[in-house]
Structure 1
């Protein structure tokens, strides 16, 4: 069996003449990211800007589905990001909702980083934490930008209380959000209770309320976070949003077309988001056009689009592979700088063209 060799001093970029391969565990990933919410949110913003400027490649995700397990899927997100990150790679992430019944998280993932000069993969990282982190950083970034021309929300409601909800709350708190009230709603009572326990441990001073109905949660929140595993829309009443909240529609399939058509709609990437029967995709199918879209998050950051203050704002981020690469490369560089890369000895064994 090949040994994992801890290193004492490794460069942040692999030497093309002598390719190496590192495995970075979830524990190492978490160590590199914990307490860095502002820094990672800034990194995600910079990556969105690089992507918006065209210095990236982010092809459509590929969904591996199973006829005998229709609720499960594994998704491949290949990407390349330029700028100061400069890395290629792919996230391979599974979503098996039935895991929750046995106490396992729904999602698991790995991230492969490739050297853009040689194409050699140089690292494999546990990526469920990276994926949750980039999702949460994107949500916190959007919440900031979309609330700049309206009163900053003070009441947040979480619809769905799993890992992603926890990370989003952590990133909101870590980037300066201070809420008077936190609402919680989940179809599973034990999940709602677990999230409330996390909130208490987080040290929040906010009043925490568990809502029995989705309607009560939405009406009592001016920032609503959807982080569910819903496969099709289940919130259909647009009047629930009459108080014009900011909605982070992270799980993409919760809101019926009627809700989106009554709102201002922003996405992270138009082509990616309007696929796979997401709520925005359903609106496009119904209307035959994309006129309901107000723009992208990058449009807002560049001043090309402005969220209206007098309508509900719905941000539906598909989640881009370039964000995973940027956060993954950050983790790799931090781990390398600390001298803690676990290199697999002789992973690339036969490097001589003619033997």
Structure 2
């Protein structure tokens, strides 16, 4: 039997590829166009839930135009910080579409953070109000940091109001952005949300309501990284409700017992807006909420770009099997 090989990319290997954020934005926008045009397979994620604050999900994606296929096995444990572990961990397996054989296994924590924030930034590119002066980011962890980095590329003139109970976390975020973005520490979420044009709630899973949709001003765009934590009227009082994938969002509502029971007003997908199949912002005063739960095709696309760089620079470990 012929021996096959697979490239293993550790977290350090993935970091060394140093995928530019501008490239990540282009990749995510391109995959969203594929999604909007139906050129993809991205079945709703399936998962298990070993704890009330934990999930382990399987996410498969196929991009026929790029001929890229893979599966991400990702876990989210919001209490991991108590034992000095990251909240999000996982692996991405990329397969040869011609033979089905695995060609790469890589740590998926970094690519998850990158593709999540890039999806928010591209969403904001197409659905934010015409003028974005202020962006509220609730949470100064890894997702908060990456969202500031990505959104500052789309809205370079915006001021970021970052909310975190730990003032040192906001200071660290400001030091790590490596951009000209202005970072202001705001002590409470309500103050930040009421004056923001774009709102990102980059928090871990929240069981209780922490954010009131009534705080969102006219024209505001709401991007919840974790879908929980908002008052239920985020799905009834908004002018436009969208998701990255409507079928996956509906499955999530059913599977998780989400508090957002009324989703009949969901208009369609972000990708539909991008390709002109779905009406997005009609009025400058529209308040818009977008639930980007995460698309496997984004993971496959970003992971494939990381693999390409790794192969060019000889990064990783080759394993025979």
Give TM-score, length-normalised by structure 2.
0.90
C-alpha deviation, 1:18, in angstroms:
5.8
Q: Which protein has the larger Cα radius of gyration, Structure 1 or Structure 2?
A: 1
C-alpha deviation, 1:138, in angstroms:
0.6
Q: Which of 51, 67, 71 lines up with 2:53 in the alignment?
A: 71
Alignment of 1:143 onto 2:124? yes
Q: Deviations over 1:248-284 (max 9, x none)?
A: 122111222213322111211101112333899654x
- Shifted more, 320-329 versus 257-266: the winner is 257-266
- Shifted more, 132-141 versus 256-265: the winner is 256-265
Task: Count how many residue pairs are aligned between Structure 1 and Structure 2.
Answer: 316
| 1:300 alignment counterpart | 273
| 2:253 alignment counterpart | 277
Q: Which of 81, 88, 94 lines up with 1:113 in the alignment?
A: 94
RMSD of aligned residue pairs (Cα, Å): 2.3
Q: Kindly tell me: are residues 119 and 156 of structure 1, through their superposed partners in 2, closer, same or farther at Cα, counting changes over 3 Å?
A: same
CA distance in 2, matches of 1:122, 1:203: 34
Q: Kindly tell me: are residues 203 and 40 of structure 1, through their superposed partners in 2, closer, same or farther at Cα, counting changes over 3 Å?
A: closer
Q: Which of 182, 191, 200 lines up with 2:160 in the alignment?
A: 182
C-alpha deviation, 1:211, in angstroms:
2.8
Conservation of the 8 A alpha-carbon contact between 1:93 and 1:110: yes
| 2:133 alignment counterpart | 154
| 1:52 alignment counterpart | 36
Structure 1 residue ranges without an equivalent (≥5): 1-16, 349-355
Give TM-score, length-normalised by structure 1.
0.82
C-alpha deviation, 1:60, in angstroms:
2.0
Q: Which of 90, 94, 100 lines up with 2:81 in the alignment?
A: 100
C-alpha deviation, 1:319, in angstroms:
0.5
Q: Kindly tell me: are residues 233 and 53 of structure 1, through their superposed partners in 2, closer, same or farther at Cα, counting changes over 3 Å?
A: farther
Q: Deviations over 1:159-215 (max 9, x none)?
A: 122211111111123x242245321223xx33x521332213435555533333221
Q: Kindly tell me: are residues 179 and 251 of structure 1, through their superposed partners in 2, closer, same or farther at Cα, counting changes over 3 Å?
A: farther
CA distance in 2, matches of 1:200, 1:142: 26
CA distance in 2, matches of 1:162, 1:254: 17
Conservation of the 8 A alpha-carbon contact between 1:236 and 1:258: no
CA distance in 2, matches of 1:151, 1:115: 43
Q: Which of 72, 75, 88 lines up with 2:69 in the alignment?
A: 88
Alignment of 1:323 onto 2:298? yes
Conservation of the 8 A alpha-carbon contact between 2:199 and 2:222: yes
CA distance in 2, matches of 1:240, 1:334: 44
Conservation of the 8 A alpha-carbon contact between 2:74 and 2:88: yes
C-alpha deviation, 1:242, in angstroms:
3.0
Conservation of the 8 A alpha-carbon contact between 1:274 and 1:281: no
C-alpha deviation, 1:80, in angstroms:
1.7
